């Protein structure tokens, strides 16, 4: 059975990692990193997305079906946790601009 989910997780996680790095850079350029928890939360989400990318890549490259499924499951859980974290980040950014 071909592995279809890992390719999507790898691609999307890498794109969202770029979003997180953009947010971190934007906060540092505007000197708002010290007064906000968004910077730290975004850094944690970026690490989770990086690990998700690694597990999905390993899932694609392995030849063992059992290990493939385990890596894919880990990547999937890390991805959904990261996606939830990005929702929180976007909410916090929105709340900061409403103030």
Residue by residue, pLDDT tens for the chain (99 residues) are 455 788 888 899 999 999 999 988 888 888 776 667 888 999 999 999 999 999 999 999 999 999 999 999 999 999 999 999 999 999 988 888 787
For residue 8, the tally of other CB atoms under 10 A from its CB is: 12
What's the Rg (C-alpha) of the chain?
16
Of 48, 56, 47, the residue nearest 3 (C-alpha): 56
State residue 2's pLDDT score: 54
SS3 label, residue 64: coil
State residue 71's pLDDT score: 94
23/60 Cα distance (integer angstroms): 29
State residue 35's pLDDT score: 67
20/18 Cα distance (integer angstroms): 5
As given in the structure block, the two tokens for residue 32 are: 């708002």
């Amino acid at each position: 059975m071909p592995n279809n989910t890992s390719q999507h997780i790898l691609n999307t996680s890498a794109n969202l990692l770029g979003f997180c790095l953009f947010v971190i850079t934007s906060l540092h350029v505007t000197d708002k990193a010290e007064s906000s928890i968004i910077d730290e939360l975004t850094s944690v989400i970026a690490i989770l997305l990086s690990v998700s990318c690694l597990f999905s890549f390993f899932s694609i490259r392995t030849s063992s079906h059992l290990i493939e499924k385990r890596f894919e499951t880990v990547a999937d859980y890390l991805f959904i946790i990261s996606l939830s974290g990005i929702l929180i980040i976007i909410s916090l950014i929105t709340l900061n601009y409403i103030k």
